[in-house]
Structure 1
Amino acid sequence: MAIDILTVPCRADNYAFLIHNSDTGQTALVDAPETAPLMAALETKGWTLDDLLITHHHHDHVEAVEDLRAAFGCRVIGAAADAHRLPDLDLAVADGDSFETCGLTTDVFDVSGHTVGHVAFYMAATEAVFTADSLMALGCGRLFEGTPAQMWESLLRIRALPQTTTVYSGHEYTAANGRFAITIEPDNPDLIARIADIDAARDANQPTVPSSLALEIATNPFLRADLHSVQAGLDMAGDGAAEVFGEIRRRKDNF
């Protein structure tokens, strides 16, 4: 199976992702932040749009849904639990469900925290997980609706995937996330090296998304709240991981 995944920059700092199966000609999109760049990417590639997968209801992830539906008649897929505030869904899915898009079995994970009803989409055959504003490159989404315990459990579900998984997240926040992460683990050599790589990429106007799950596990403080070294650095040795995660999130919110 020949699968291409194209990162499409949208709005000020959003990313959307086009998934194309060159064997079948099918194309899917994860999130729809802005019409013009998505239409331009599809036109440049000569692709039509079969499926549109929505991770959560925030405007910067759904703004272009109706334009794309009108242009292509694509099937719109999103969380049943969030259906009341999403565009009309052709397929409503829930945690534990699987469906097929572009010839790929796609597993649905509830990753509530940033919002309640946020979902991630995992495609094992191509080792890709689309996390939007749950797990982000060197960070995680702000907790607008969920609790620290909810988000920690959501992140653990993603962390349990094979470390060869590629993480496709929703925003170019990585440089700012790095400036915060180094305050949590100033002596983490993997983090120090990653920040240098991020700076070089941004200086060259290159995206830092997607990232590898292995790299996130090694450097992302929000995935490391259960490590003794991180807890000790926060004077929280012996505290529960969800509580430690909550403290890291609180510090990031005020950074």
Structure 2
Amino acid sequence: MRLHPLPAFADNYIWTLADESGAALIVDPGDAAPVFDAARDGLRPAAVLLTHHHPDHIGGVRDLLRKWPQLPVIGPQDERIPYQTDVVAEGDTVAVAGWRFEVLEIPGHTLSHVAFHGHGLLFCGDTLFSLGCGRLFEGSPAQMRASLTKLAALPPETRVCCGHEYTVNNGRFACVVEPGNPALRRRIEEARTMRERGLPTLPSTLADELAANPFLRVDAPEVRCSLRERLGREPADAVEAFAELRRWKDGFSS
């Protein structure tokens, strides 16, 4: 099993998961060009998995199908996603080219967002980032909080394959929220070193995120203290705590 993120645009990753023969799943190809480059090096696309409808995650599908017209394209029910051959929902299993993934519905960033979990991997699009989470473009704070809670319940060794290289920037905000967290400091130092070497900071592990990602730690004492100081009172519940944390991040400038 070879897992590799193909950089695209300014900070996207197109994830590829290949077997020994080169047959590969392609996850969220916002641009076809990196996939074509990988194909020249022996990658053979076997199926496309889509997590949500945003153009930087689906924009390359049309060109991929021009080259490989029989390529299965699998994603959530959403009329904004063209070219799909298979529509999936919560509890479905994707079985293609020897790979098997469970489908999880994780609304929040978009209403139809899904994730694919299997083989110790989580392809979570723009819902969970390393040290962060996605903006709420369509869903509610309660929906996103529930989606993150669902992902947090997966095995801690799960490798988190998200859609963007945001770790260092997310870390700046996380340090303001929870400055006394040593796991967070270690993760930021590691991420900075990797970026200086031109390496991706991903995948992280779910254990890493549970230890350092403030959006999975809204009940941690220091996170609650920061939110209490910001609100001037105790958050009513975890949903309000999450909502205020997301609002804070939306307006944050390092």
**TM-score bin, normalised by smaller chain:** over 0.9
Q: Distance in 2 between matches of 1:53 and 1:99?
A: 9
Counterpart position of 2:81: 86
Structure 1 residue 237: deviation in Å? 4.2
Counterpart position of 1:49: 45
Counterpart position of 2:10: 12
Counterpart position of 1:210: 203
1:28 partner letter: L
List structure 1 segments (4+ residues) > 3 angstroms apart after TM superposition. none
The residue matched to 1:100 in structure 2 has which SS? strand
Q: Distance in 1 between matches of 2:72 and 2:56?
A: 19
Q: Distance in 1 between matches of 2:172 and 2:36?
A: 34
2:12 partner letter: N
Counterpart position of 1:109: 104
Structure 1 residue 238: deviation in Å? 6.0
Q: Distance in 2 between matches of 1:38 and 1:26?
A: 12
Pick the aligned partner of 1:72 from 61, 68, 74.
68
Q: Distance in 2 between matches of 1:253 and 1:226?
A: 20
Q: Distance in 2 between matches of 1:147 and 1:9?
A: 30
TM-score normalized with structure 1 length: 0.93
Equivalences, count: 247
Counterpart position of 2:135: 142
Structure 1 residue 232: deviation in Å? 2.6
Counterpart position of 1:58: 54
Contact 1:226 1:240 in 2 (8 A): no
The residue matched to 2:45 in structure 1 has which SS? coil
Q: Distance in 2 between matches of 1:159 and 1:192?
A: 21
Contact 2:235 2:241 in 1 (8 A): no
Contact 1:50 1:72 in 2 (8 A): no
1:34 partner letter: D
Pick the aligned partner of 2:121 from 121, 128, 136.
128
Structure 1 residue 233: deviation in Å? 2.9
The residue matched to 1:61 in structure 2 has which SS? helix
TM-score normalized with structure 2 length: 0.94
Counterpart position of 1:31: 28
2:37 partner letter: A
Instruction: Name whichever of 62-71 and 201-210 sits farther off.
Output: 201-210
Q: Distance in 2 between matches of 1:13 and 1:95?
A: 28
The residue matched to 1:167 in structure 2 has which SS? strand
Overall identity of the aligned pairs, in %:
43
Counterpart position of 1:163: 156
Counterpart position of 2:237: 240
Contact 2:51 2:75 in 1 (8 A): yes
Instruction: Name whichever of 93-102 and 56-65 sits farther off.
Output: 93-102
Q: Distance in 2 between matches of 1:157 and 1:35?
A: 31
Q: Distance in 2 between matches of 1:211 and 1:193?
A: 13
Q: CA RMSD in A?
A: 1.3
Contact 2:61 2:83 in 1 (8 A): no
Q: Distance in 2 between matches of 1:90 and 1:107?
A: 17
1:182 maps to 2:178: no
Q: Distance in 2 between matches of 1:20 and 1:206?
A: 20
Structure 1 residue 68: deviation in Å? 0.6
Q: Distance in 1 between matches of 2:186 and 2:202?
A: 16
Contact 1:107 1:121 in 2 (8 A): yes
